[in-house]
Structure formats: structure tokens, C-alpha cells
Structure 1
Amino acid sequence: MRVTREKAAENRERIVLAASRLFRDKGFDGVGVDAIMDAVGLTHGGFYRHFGSKEALAEEAVAQGLAAGAERLAGLSALDRFVAGYLSPAHRDDRSGGCVVAALGGDIARQGPGVRHSLTGYVRGQLDRIAGRITGRGEKARREQAIATLAGLVGALMLARAVDDPELSDEILEAGRNVFGREQVSDDEGQRSEPLSRLGEGQG
């Protein structure tokens, strides 16, 4: 039976979404084309009508996951809400539906230029968004704090997922929320004030 153009586009989107989740859950090398196609109820042979290779699919799957993550932060007016959600037990436990960078950061460094280029664009965009939510400091200081915050969030989530002690994992998340979940402001002379808010307080 001939597949309509609309149905083909729908199938392609489903493949990308399934691959994005499976890659985050099992890693690029931990899932094959068969498993991805099985997840959407399509045949292995149909894969190559949409993608030239698994690597080509990985580029689109990573880009899709990163775009979804960027959209979540863009929709929040306060950095504390983002940090609270990012370093929550729910996000820690949802590897397949969570942050692409925390799930695949090490793997992405070993992927081709397309995947790494998508990550680079995402990191630049997130740094700009985070810096824009930091108030009362100079541009260079906001940029440095944004870099430290993004790196700290990703690292804390990866560590919380990696340890096999649930109490330690929760402790890592809480510490990350306390450290990164605050808006720091400074006066014109560069003196840092008290935190305006604590991200994640009372959550998780």
C-alpha cells in the first residue's frame, strides 16, 4: 500500500522522537535500528526510506531533544524554577525523557560533527538564556556565572544518576539546588548581596 506524503512525514517524526528517547536511555551504541523501528511499529527496511544511516538519525534525534530542552527554559521567567525542575528526583529518574546533555554528554563528544554542532548551538543558547536571568552584575560576570551554572547542573545530574546510594543521590540534587538555585546580585562596587531565592527549596 502506498504511503502518503503526510503519513511518511508522520512516521519520520515518530522515528526521531523514539530514537531521541532510546538514545538517552541506552546510549548511541546501546540501541540499534531494529529496536528504534520496533518502538514505532515499523519494519527495519523502512528505516532507509527516511534516513541514510543511524548517524544521520542521531543528528536529528539529538537536535530534537536539545530543542525541547531549550524550549522548557525559554518558557520560564525565573532561573530558580528551571534549576528546581532540572535537579529534581523526577528528572533524575527520567533519563529517556530528560536532558540530552546529561544523558549523552560523554557519548556526544565521540560523535560526528553534526551531533556536536547541534550541542554547541544548544550550549551557546542556554548560556545566553541563563545569563539573561542573572541580575545586577556586569556582562562578563553574568557570562561566567552562566557557564558555571550550566556545567554544575549537568554535572550534578550526571553524578546523582551514577551513584548507587539513593541517599547520596538525593543529597547531590539538594546541594545543587542550594548552590545553583539562587539569583546572585551585586552592587556597583561588585559586592555580592544575599541570595534572592533558593531554587528547589521545598521540592523533591
Structure 2
Amino acid sequence: MRYSANHKMETREKLLASSAASAKTLGFSTVGVDGLMKAIGLSGGAFYSHFSSKDELFKAIVERELAQSLDRLSGEGAMDQAKLARCLKQYLSMSHVEQPEVGCALPVLGAEIARSDEQVRDVAQTWVCRLHESWARVLGSEALAWAILSQCVGAMVVARMMAAPEVQQEVLESSRAEITLRLAGLD
């Protein structure tokens, strides 16, 4: 049975969304092709009509997820310090800690991206640099934009490592407070 091009695109998007959520929850390398396809109700063999390899899927996931992060963290409309502060507050939140499958890919997939081939790292670099450029324009400092971006990702990693919610909250609040002080110094 032949499927329409639209059906193939819809299936590919389902596979990307499902695989991204799985990767952000369990890690990308832990789930095989059969498991990824089973999650959307298809056989493992159907995978290769969408991607030539699992590495190609990972590259597509990285691009999709980081593009979405860029949209959420610098998004539509004029970016100013107030909007940046609101984005950072949402990013450094317990709901982001507790729901990695719907949050930023960097804290959960950063180590896997770093171990990936150059193509995956190039895709990640493109999107992270776009976010950095957006923040640097608002902050008036490339160095400060890198520092805040790195602190946010690091704070999420550390908060998720902690077992006690009160310690997770302390990590997030401390990071928000320090970033807020830096942003207040720009006025």
C-alpha cells in the first residue's frame, strides 16, 4: 500500500516528536530503532523510509529541539531585558526541572551532542549561537550572554541531579538571583 507524501511527513513528525521526548527523558542512546518506532505504533523496518540512520534522526532531533528553544527563549516580538528576564524565570523553574521531555534539550542532551559527530555539533552550534546573538543584542555584551546561557543550562543540570526538591529549588533560586543582579546592573 502506497501512502501519500502528506502521510509520510506526518509520520516523520510523529517520530521526531516521540523520539525527542524519549531522548530528553531517557537519553537518546538508550532506545533502539525498534523502540522508537514502537512508540508511534510502527515496525522498526519503517524507520528507514524516514531516516537513513539513527544518527540522522539524532541530528534532526537536535535541530528541531534547539529551534524550538530559540523560539521560546527569544521568540516573537521585540526582545528586551524584561522579556529576557521572564524567559529566564520560566527556564529556571521547577516545572522545567520536573518535565525534561517538554523543556530545553541542552541540559539533557548536551553530553550526547558533545559526543556526537561533527554534523550534529555543527547543527547545535548554529542554533545555540543564534540564541546567544539574540541575548547579546539585548544585554549589550557577548560575554554576558554566554555566561547567562551557560549558567542557565548548568543550573538545570545541577538541579536535576539533586534528589530533594528543596535543594533543586535552592539551585534555581540562587541562579535566578545572581542573573537578576547582573541584569539590574545593566540599567
Partner of 1:86: 91
In structure 1, stretches of 5+ residues that fail to align are 186-192, 197-204
Partner of 1:12: 12
Structure 1 residue corresponding to 2:109, chosen from 104, 110, 122: 104
Task: Answer whether contact 1:83 1:181 (CA < 8 A) is retained.
Answer: no
**Secondary structure of the residue that 1:111 maps to in structure 2?**
coil
**AA in 2 matched with 1:63:** E
Partner of 1:32: 32
Structure 1 residue corresponding to 2:122, chosen from 110, 117, 121: 117
Distance 1:182 1:64 in 2: 32
- Scaled by the length of structure 1, the TM-score of the pair is 0.84
**AA in 2 matched with 1:167:** E
Correspondence 1:171 to 2:176: no
Q: Which runs of 4+ in 1 moved over 4 A?
A: none
How many residues are paired up? 182
Distance 2:98 2:15 in 1: 23
Correspondence 1:127 to 2:132: yes
State the identity %: 33
CA positional deviation for 1:183: 5.8
- Identify the structure with the greater helix proportion: 2
CA positional deviation for 1:110: 0.4
In structure 2, stretches of 5+ residues that fail to align are none
Task: Answer whether contact 2:155 2:175 (CA < 8 A) is retained.
Answer: yes
Q: Deviation digits for residues 176-196 of structure 1, max 9, x if unmatched?
A: 1111135636xxxxxxx4x76
Correspondence 1:157 to 2:156: yes
**AA in 2 matched with 1:126:** L
**Secondary structure of the residue that 2:183 maps to in structure 1?**
coil
**AA in 1 matched with 2:171:** I
**AA in 1 matched with 2:156:** L
CA positional deviation for 1:75: 2.2
- Scaled by the length of structure 2, the TM-score of the pair is 0.91
Q: Which has the larger radius of gyration?
A: 1
**Secondary structure of the residue that 1:24 maps to in structure 2?**
helix
Correspondence 1:50 to 2:55: no
